Amino acid sequence: MNLVIQSPEPIADSHFKPLTALARAQRIDRDATGHVLRLSDAEPLQRADIDAYCGTHRLDYAFIDPALRLADFGLVAMDMDSTLITIECIDEIADFCGLKNEVAAITEASMRGEIKDFNESLTRRVALLKGLDASALDRVYEERLRLSPGAETMLAGARAAGMKTLLVSGGFTFFTEKLKARLGLDFTRANTLEIVDGKLTGKVVGEIVNAEVKARTLRETCAQLGIDPSRAIAMGDGSNDLKMMAEAGLSVAFRAKPVVREAASLALNFVGLDGVLRLF
């Protein structure tokens, strides 16, 4: 396997020898930017040692089949909150009715996998928003929503490789549809907040996009594209993403909860989303 090491900062020469020894690699190369090392013929059984070393030195790592290319994939599927974007939209919406701490605590527990029923978790949180003026959604989008580092570069690279893009979220269509138009995404799926007379009712309309629905959406999108799910890359950060990520040929935990990092093919803890492009 190739072992790809990445860092937001140029990687010092002092890392060459210990990484080569830990990975039992035959060769190490650095790219022109100095931010990426590629170790050839690395030993995947050394993952635990590599993980400890890279965690200590704030380096991201991934074991990658040297024959694999980005163009081998046909779809990149992304979670929205805390993956494609830096915020949890529902927490920020709740801030406008003075309930951010209460809602954020439920969000965090759900993402860590401590609340097993996502439908219950979302229903509880949305109920707390009852009566809030819908204009708060616009304010969250305009004032607080920011793309994660490397998001636009990653999407451009995926499109250049011939891939389609899917944004599938346990969040809300208000935000996914704006991002679809802004970023030129091909497919989106999310929850619809009920709004009556310009105010949130505290309810979600239709089927809740939980872990099972996320996984099903990935499968259905792949079928629509005529590709196997093994040709999908899935990116997420919370436990609600695990089933979707398990369907994909390559799963990426982006600044994720421990349960997600442990299950994913690889984790990007320090570099941006565009780190995916440098794996191949």
Q: Which residues of 255-269 are buried (b: 16+ CB within 10 A; e: fewer)?
A: bbbebbbebbbbbbb
Distances in Å between the Cα of 244 and the Cα atoms of 62, 119, 137, 217, 252 are: 20, 16, 27, 8, 11
Q: Comparing C-alpha atoms, which of 239, 201, 217 is closest to residue 117?
A: 239
Phi then psi for residue 253, to 5 deg, are -90, 115
Tell me the pLDDT tens digit for each residue of 244-267.
999 999 999 999 999 999 999 999
Q: Give the active site residue among 29, 51, 81, 186.
A: 81
Q: What is the pLDDT of residue 118?
A: 92
Q: What is the pLDDT of residue 84?
A: 98
Quickly count helices (H) and strands (E) in the chain.
11, 11
0.85 exceeded by pTM: yes
Q: What is the pLDDT of residue 112?
A: 83
Residues of the chain with pLDDT under 70: none
Is 91 annotated as catalytic? no
Q: Give the active site residue among 49, 51, 79, 274.
A: 79
What would you report as the CA-atom Rg of the chain, rounded to the nearest whole angstrom? 20
Is 95 annotated as catalytic? no
Report the alpha-carbon distance of residue 187 to residue 53 in Å, rounded: 38
Report the alpha-carbon distance of residue 249 to residue 79 in Å, rounded: 16
Question: Please, is 27 exposed, middle or buried when counting C-beta atoms within 10 Å of its C-beta (0-12, 13-18, 19+)?
Answer: exposed
- On whether the CB atoms of residues 150 and 275 are closer than 8 A, the answer is yes
